[in-house]
Amino acid sequence: MIITNNEEALRVKCENVSLEEAYDLIQTLENELNAANKTNNRGIGLAAPQIGIAKKAAIIRIGDYKVNLINAIIDKKYDLKTFQDEGCLSFPGRVETTNRYQEITLINNLLYPHSMILSGLLAVAVQHELDHTNGTLFFDHAIKTKIRPNDLCICNSGKKYKKCCLK
């Protein structure tokens, strides 16, 4: 069962996953995500801490894309942008405008010991799920101040917000 509205329980530091436990953990996460998606709490990813397991494991399911994150780390980040309406299964109904990188280089240490480049929603989802494994929550990335369209953009591009990340 997915832990909801319990910030303290979700701010755990996680341990690495062994090869022996990886596949069972992925199946458990998949079962929980499928159960959530049968309700009104639909999601595209789930991390082990969200179901009370303090391990560095998460899954993402976006259409035909299936990404299993086991002991994964983000090696490089590019193109910080504003992401509208980021939500989380652990905080149903809550959405925030966040700053996330549009492209990342991911090293998925256990299952695929090589790097891959991810972009767009998939990159944002990976950042979100890996944050869970580090005790960070999506609203920690929320934009705290009101930004007006003519203000300089928060991504430090030097452009006005309305001509940059607001698009």
Which residues are catalytic, by number?
129
Rounded CA separation 148/154 (Å): 11
Rounded CA separation 71/22 (Å): 10
Distances (CA, A) of 81 to 46, 59, 84, 116: 23, 23, 10, 20
- Output the six-digit token pair for 125: 């989802």
